[in-house]
Chains A and B, each alone.
Chain A
Amino acid sequence: MDSVLIPEGVSRCSAKKFFLWTLPWILILIWGAVSAVLCLWKALNQTNMSNIFAFALWIVFDLGLIALGAGAFFTGFLTYIIGKKELKDIINAAVIIGFICYSGAMAILGIDIGQPLRGWFIFWHANIHSMLVEVSFCITCYLMILTIEFLPIILENNKLEEIKPARLFGKNLHSIMAIFAATGTFLSFFHQGSLGGMFGVMYARPFAARGGFYIWPWTFFLFILSAIATGPCFTILIVRITEKLTKKKLVPDRAIQFLAKLSGILLSIYIVLKITDTVSWICTEAHKAGLTFMDFYKEGPYGIWLPITEIGICGIIPAILLVVPKFRKDPKWLTIACILNCIGIVLNRFSFIIVTLAIPVLPFERFWSYLPTWQEWGIALASIAYGVLIFSLAYRYLPVFPKEKELNPIS
């Protein structure tokens, strides 16, 4: 039925099978749409957010998606600026994943701000002293760049390529991709950093506040490092899942191995710095606030298991698995390392968002618990369903993996 749209020389499942695959994700998307309509119509009282939990599940998803989507800018930087040719086999997938993550995050933010019609206020009446304003500027501009990077891939579709102006425009855009990649790298560096910096300057919240260098708290640098250490792993993970589902080899091992090795090195550096930062925080910021390390983990469900899982199980273990060639070259260990790495960064963002707000600061305050409503879950999960649908459509109709034909010849 849709065979004319499918790239030449590759095999795809039947349209019926593809529709059945998309069905559960469409249902989740409908759940998200209903939740979004309710939030826009009846306002944010549809959520369990409050004056205490102004940042909640949606921001956890936002920061998680933005960190996981860092593979796009980092792979783009390595491909177009540094000139790593082997990454050309995976750059399309990285760009699409980045686009999905950032557009998903922006869609969630559109609901989260409560009055989307006034969304433009942040640009026009900007508070230049706010790190969040800088983040808003950067992620909006970066989503623009990701859209431009995605456009030539869309225009390479079989049918669209027959339209001469579209084909030429796509190729001309592709020829100056290095400029967009460099701009994207600049923007990503600052918004990943400022997202971390925002927590580091919360001086009234000893759980998040950190010392730093000049105007930048250490969390500024840690957030950048953790994002570039995890983003490529998320790209590898999505490629591995696609390979598993399609029962095909889609990306040559040299591209995967290069990204995995680099991730391993960056993750190792990050973990060493994160442990140093944690120790320094216990001895300085927490100490100054009259608190000990265990004071932060004595109430509610967020016990000592949280830093142990984040830094130990989802930090040190994947770093070792990615750095040691024997494990990295084993597909099973590589997948485990990527999963742990991704869980680790989401836990890190979760701690900074939720635990920071839940822990009492003053002696007369109590521990605040928070459970998202079904509307909050609907919108958050819809971002995942949206991602799966976009990536599935891209894989089916666009030449996402340039080496697919070569690696899977049709007999």
Chain B
Amino acid sequence: MTPFSFEWQWDIGHIIFFGFLYLVLTIVGLGLSWAGLKTVLQLLGLMWERDLEEH
């Protein structure tokens, strides 16, 4: 459900419930995009490849 759906109501319940859902989905999406983008930049040589493993 989004704010554009016919069932949507601008009440505190919908805002909290869906606010947190979309916040989590945004974090997951941004995290994956960041890792993907960094990988592409490293492959293109535009970013340094560092050894991230801790010894």
Contact = CB atoms under 8 A, between A and B. Distances in A.
Contacts of B43: 164-165, 168
A128 B53 contact: no
A365 to B, nearest CB: 34
B36 interface: yes
B39 A168 contact: yes
A8 to B, nearest CB: 14
B17 A183 contact: no
A148 interface: yes
Contacts of B42: 168, 172
Contact of B14 (A128, A134, A148, A169): A128
A123 B49 CA distance: 40
B44 to A, nearest CB: 11
Interface size class of chain A, counting residues whose CB lies under 8 Å from the partner chain: 20 to 34
A171 B39 CA distance: 9
A173 interface: yes
Interface residues of B, number: 25
A142 B42 CA distance: 29
Contacts of B36: 169
B13 to A, nearest CB: 4
A269 to B, nearest CB: 27
Interface in B1-40: 1, 5, 7, 13-14, 17-18, 21, 24-25, 27-28, 31-32, 34-36, 38-39
A187 B35 CA distance: 22
B28 A144 contact: yes
B21 A141 contact: yes
**Secondary structure dominating the interface of B:** helix
B46 interface: no
A137 interface: yes
A95 B3 CA distance: 35
Contact of A183 (B5, B18, B24, B39): B24
A171 B31 contact: no
B14 A171 contact: no
Contacts of B28: 141, 144-145, 148, 180, 183
A88 B54 CA distance: 10
Given A126-B18, A128-B18, A172-B35, 17 more contacts: A124-B5, A125-B1, A126-B17, A128-B13, A128-B17, A133-B17, A134-B17, A148-B31, A165-B43, A168-B39, A169-B36, A169-B39, A173-B31, A173-B35, A176-B35, A183-B24, A186-B24
Interface of B: 1, 5, 7, 13-14, 17-18, 21, 24-25, 27-28, 31-32, 34-36, 38-39, 42-43, 49, 52-54
Interface of A: 88, 123-126, 128-129, 133-134, 137, 141, 144-145, 148, 164-165, 168-169, 171-176, 179-180, 183, 186-187
